[in-house]
Structure 1
């Protein structure tokens, strides 16, 4: 049976992705840190008639990608979808945030998807049709002061996705990059944003289910990249036509003024 592996599958977009894929006929392999939450998602997938296995794992730890790839290939020979969803942001000035916590973020946002994709590509290429979905952000399209390394990591993921997609153009593997905007997840809280910023983001947020439905649809349609939501598409497109210094000032006006 065709199977999908989803990282960061315990909540938010990852959870919604897992259930969207289950609804579309995929068995699911789920990984994140929280075993109780993973088990909840697995139970929901089973109610949809799909098999579901979980691996609780700190995906930012050394060797996590290799451990996860070995586990996934032991569960199935029909791995057809890899969703690199795990990631988070840190809000604050670069010099004020500790280097260690920023490096942990970069490990999860960049190094894990690269290492996991490299480890699983041979398996994916053996399928008649396979897909890789990398979850970036609208922050990938511009620098965002006070989310500087987060935005940079997502820009990396977007560039990685497009380059890899071209390299694999004559194979059975299609690569898609999904770049959501504000979504009703715990991103803002995990990033350390204050309540006022969270409230502002919630006014224009999409739900995880909306993002997942659009993202999986784009993946299976073989699209190169998708920015879900009309407002998100417009704002990301405008960054191509206005000076970078202006977009940076606008972003700083939203985020930086709330710092203590």
Structure 2
């Protein structure tokens, strides 16, 4: 399926201010897309838009917090008011809490569910009908290797939320076959981003797990983009990450849970 006949297709990327979201914006711009960038912080989006402009990409900035249940509809309306058409939806916004279920503010858990589960579903429901009508669309849901692994203690809700996103992506992928709309779940493992440089923790996070487990945001973004273009229902960057995901399917629960039991504790120490 070729790109739309308009000069440049447009991709909406949530959580675009840094990390994998910013890396995805760079890849989409490189591939000939214009962008709608959204996140809570305007300054990093402005800086990214200026960077992308040097590649010829035009960026529209719409700030907002997807933890607000009204945010997806507000975003949809703002885009429609500006006369923009969304050809690609990248649901990337997300965060985790590793202090434990009982030590985490229930409001933070509610926000996690809203940002990483409810908002992607609503945004897909809002934008997919137009994509189907036009016969072209791309939906890339940034899930996680954690969604394919046994549950962990400490970041108790993160893995289950990402598992949901993977399954929802696969179901939508099947439903939209033959429409020209591609749906892919991107499942990165540990990814080093500029967040670690900004807060001075790159050395610590790098030592929490072996070097082979870490990937760059640029690599993850490129793998995700190409998988969505190829209409693969799911992609996990990295041979070892795929090995871990496959191994987790076949290990007895007792062994698998023991294998991941120290995950949150290691991250908390950093």
1:238 matched to which residue of 2? Answer: 247
Work out which of the residue numbers 216, 237, 247 in structure 2 matches 1:228. 237
The answer on whether the counterparts of 2:21 and 2:93 sit within 8 Å (CA) in structure 1 is yes
State how far apart, in whole Å, the 1-side matches of 2:36 and 2:30 are: 14
Give the RMSD, CA atoms, in angstroms.
2.3
SS at match of 1:139: helix
Measured against aligned partners, the alpha-carbon deviations of 1:205-239 in whole angstroms (never above 9, x if no partner) come to 11111110111011111111100011111111111
1:183 matched to which residue of 2? Answer: 191
Judging changes above 3 Å, is the alpha-carbon distance between structure 1 residues 238 and 11 closer, same or farther for their aligned structure 2 residues? same
The answer on whether the counterparts of 1:184 and 1:202 sit within 8 Å (CA) in structure 2 is no
1:156 matched to which residue of 2? Answer: 164
1:119 matched to which residue of 2? Answer: 126
**TM-score of the superposition, structure 1-length normalised?**
0.92
Measured against aligned partners, the alpha-carbon deviations of 1:71-100 in whole angstroms (never above 9, x if no partner) come to 223344542110000011110221221211
Structure 1: which 5+ runs fail to align? Answer: none
State how far apart, in whole Å, the 1-side matches of 2:259 and 2:196 are: 19
SS at match of 2:139: strand
Structure 2: which 5+ runs fail to align? Answer: 1-7
The answer on whether the counterparts of 2:18 and 2:195 sit within 8 Å (CA) in structure 1 is no
The answer on whether the counterparts of 2:20 and 2:218 sit within 8 Å (CA) in structure 1 is yes
Measured against aligned partners, the alpha-carbon deviations of 1:94-149 in whole angstroms (never above 9, x if no partner) come to 12212111111111110110111111112222333211000000000121221210
State how far apart, in whole Å, the 1-side matches of 2:104 and 2:202 are: 16
Q: Does 1:199 align with 2:227?
A: no
2:144 matched to which residue of 1? Answer: 137
Work out which of the residue numbers 67, 71, 77 in structure 2 matches 1:64. 71
Q: Number of residue pairs matched?
A: 258
**TM-score of the superposition, structure 2-length normalised?**
0.88
State how far apart, in whole Å, the 1-side matches of 2:268 and 2:85 are: 48
1:39 matched to which residue of 2? Answer: 46
Structure 1 residue ranges (4+ consecutive) displaced by more than 4 angstroms after TM superposition: 186-189, 193-198, 257-260
| CA-CA distance at 1:185 after TM superposition | 2.6
Judging changes above 3 Å, is the alpha-carbon distance between structure 1 residues 117 and 198 closer, same or farther for their aligned structure 2 residues? same
1:101 matched to which residue of 2? Answer: 108
2:174 matched to which residue of 1? Answer: 166
Work out which of the residue numbers 71, 89, 92 in structure 1 matches 2:99. 92
State how far apart, in whole Å, the 2-side matches of 1:228 and 1:166 are: 22
